Amino acid sequence: MPSDTTLLAFDTSAAHCAAALFCDGRVVATHVDEMARGQAEHLMPMLEDFLARKGKDWSDLTRIGVGIGPGNFTGIRISVAAARGLALGLGIPAIGVSTLDALQHLHPGATTAVPAPRDMIYAQTPGSEPSLLAASDVPDAVFSDDPHALIAALAEVAASAEAAKADRPKPLYIKPADAAPARDTAPVILP
């Protein structure tokens, strides 16, 4: 990775807004605001304040790193949309990093996992694609219990990625949405 990389990484795929600043070849700061909802309204002001407190501005950035999931459907879309918009507006690459890859950066060789609904987990063994499994089927899975370490790992993975080969980040959905149409009878429209 180039030593002149200045990267802002962020993630809203869990119950938080998390950010990390990578420059001078290392993560120099992280910030996490725990929150169950409201990430869409909170993310951009938090990032702007985070950069300002570290003496940086949007124009100092050479790339963006973003968490692409798995995790909360809406949260993933918030981060990915923000990253794509910032990358386009700033003319810099955005690198998508899965939570599972960031965890494997912290725990090489481990099966990493993120909780999923209904006693399931999203899990990934090194060198394989992520999958949805029963939590009981992977008793040795490693989960993240430190959002600061996780966002720092996400930033390190994004900083080491080859920007020229990076596609625009897109959400990592391991299973289709489980939303169902409304069960209420549609209203009658009068002429």
Q: Quick one: pLDDT band at residue 29, thresholds 50, 70, 90?
A: very high
For the record, the structure tokens of 18 come out as: 């998390």
Q: Where are the domains of the chain?
A: 7-106+146-165
- How much is the pLDDT for 2? 52
* C-alpha span between 43 and 14 (Å, rounded): 13
User: What's the full length of the chain, in residues?
Assistant: 191
Please report where in the chains the tokens 């990775």 appear, as a residue.
1
Which whole number is the average pLDDT over 80-85?
A: 97
Q: Quick one: pLDDT band at residue 93, thresholds 50, 70, 90?
A: very high
Q: Are 139 and 119 in contact (CB under 8 A)?
A: no
Put the strands of the sheet holding 63-67 in their side by side order: 26-34, 16-23, 7-11, 63-67, 94-97
* C-alpha span between 64 and 47 (Å, rounded): 12
Is pLDDT above 60 for 21? yes
What DSSP line would sit under 46-101, residue for residue?
HHHHHHHHTT--GGG-SEEEEE--SS-HHHHHHHHHHHHHHHHHHT--EEEE-HHH
**Span between the terminal Cα atoms of the chain, in Å:** 65
Which whole number is the average pLDDT over 31-53?
A: 97
* C-alpha span between 171 and 191 (Å, rounded): 42
Q: Which CATH architecture has domain 7-106+146-165?
A: 2-Layer Sandwich (3.30)
- How much is the pLDDT for 91? 96
Please report where in the chains the tokens 């990032």 appear, as a residue.
47
- How much is the pLDDT for 180? 67
Q: DSSP label at 189? A: P
Q: Are 141 and 121 in contact (CB under 8 A)?
A: yes
Average pLDDT in the chain: 93
- How much is the pLDDT for 186? 74
Name the pTM for this structure: 0.90
* C-alpha span between 6 and 28 (Å, rounded): 10
* C-alpha span between 34 and 187 (Å, rounded): 40
* C-alpha span between 88 and 160 (Å, rounded): 21
- How much is the pLDDT for 176? 72
Q: What is the tens place of the pLDDT at every residue in 104-137?
A: 999 999 999 999 999 999 999 999 999 999 999 9
